[in-house]
Amino acid sequence: MAIRDIITYPDPLLLKPSETVTEFGDSIQELIEDMAETMFEAPGSGLAAVQVGVNKRIIVVNTTEDMDDAEKSWYALINPEIIEKDGVFVSDNEGCLSVPELRATVRRSSRVVVKALDRMGEPMTIEVDNFHAVILQHEIDHLNGILFIDHLSVLKRNLYKKKVKKHLKDS
Ligand code: NI
């Protein structure tokens, strides 16, 4: 396993929809293991393949906030798709490893049902709620080229973009 570099906004790859996975060989298994290790190292609650520069529909999710326990309680979803969602969950301190130095409030669904393949390519469906549902919505957004800042008001989003531009110019 290896820790991979996480790409950050405004890298254009983050805005591109990821491609469907059709094979589940060694290179995909290695990528999934690397993604998990990268997520723990960061640390983060979830990671999409595009964030390590691989344009494939794969996410890894860490379901515990207890980092000592994290390596036992993660899973991967391949080609995940939200097939049902309802309720409202105000995600009040949302952040993203690819959008450094920003935390914001995002309105999410409080329950989602997700259809996906597991890492061996077997079909599965999971139903989750609250914080866990936020992680899945956030990571599946990444696969569609959507960042959490896209859910913010235009004003807040532009403030952030300006800050990044200035930072890039200064560095
Ligand atoms: Ni993210």
Over residues 71-116, the pLDDT tens digits come to 678 999 999 999 999 999 999 999 999 999 899 999 999 999 999 9
- Third-level CATH fold of 12-170: Peptide Deformylase (3.90.45)
DSSP 151: G
Nearest of 141, 163, 106 to residue 17 by alpha carbon: 141
Gap between the Cα atoms of 144 and 125, Å rounded: 19
The set of catalytic residues is 139
Which two three-digit tokens encode residue 42?
């960061």
Q: How far is the CA of 148 from the centre of ligand 1 (A)?
A: 7
The alpha carbon dihedral of 28, 19, 35, 7 has a sign of positive
34-55: pLDDT as tens digits: 999 999 999 999 999 999 999 9
> pTM of the entire structure?
0.94
Give the Å distance between the CA of 24 and the centre of ligand 1: 24
